[in-house]
Amino acid sequence: MTIMMTSDMPGTTQGDYEQLAAALLPVLQTADGFIAHAAGPADGGYQVTELWESEAAHSPWFAAHIAPAMPPGATPPILTIRPITKITTRA
């Protein structure tokens, strides 16, 4: 089932995000099960929202690429996974 993953990153700045994104987005775009990525400032940090074909596709990606890329001492992201039943895009 398609999922929406939201990652809240307290204390993360746009610069922090941009540094991680520069390294990870090219790899993310080729990941099996990846659909879309969006990011922006949120209360006291940054938030990433992604659509994935399944939680089974997202979880290994996160464990292999995101967790090891977090700076030492950084607050771990707070993940929320929700099922998605409908996606509509611009034609």
Tell me how far apart the alpha carbons of residues 71 and 13 are, in angstroms, rounded to a whole number. Answer: 12
Question: 91 lies in a domain?
Answer: no
Structural domains counted in the chain: 1
Show the domain range for 18: 3-83
The CATH number of the domain holding residue 25 is: 3.30.70.100
Question: 90 lies in a domain?
Answer: no
Does 45 score more than 80 pLDDT?
yes
The answer to whether the pTM exceeds 0.75 is: yes
Question: 89 lies in a domain?
Answer: no
Q: Considering only CA atoms, which of 13, 5, 64 is closest in space to residue 35?
A: 5
For 39, left (φ over 0), alpha (ψ -120 to 50), or beta?
Answer: beta
Question: 20 lies in a domain?
Answer: yes
Question: 61 lies in a domain?
Answer: yes
pLDDT tens-place string over residues 9-31: 999 999 989 998 999 999 999 99
Question: 88 lies in a domain?
Answer: no
Question: 65 lies in a domain?
Answer: yes
Question: 47 lies in a domain?
Answer: yes
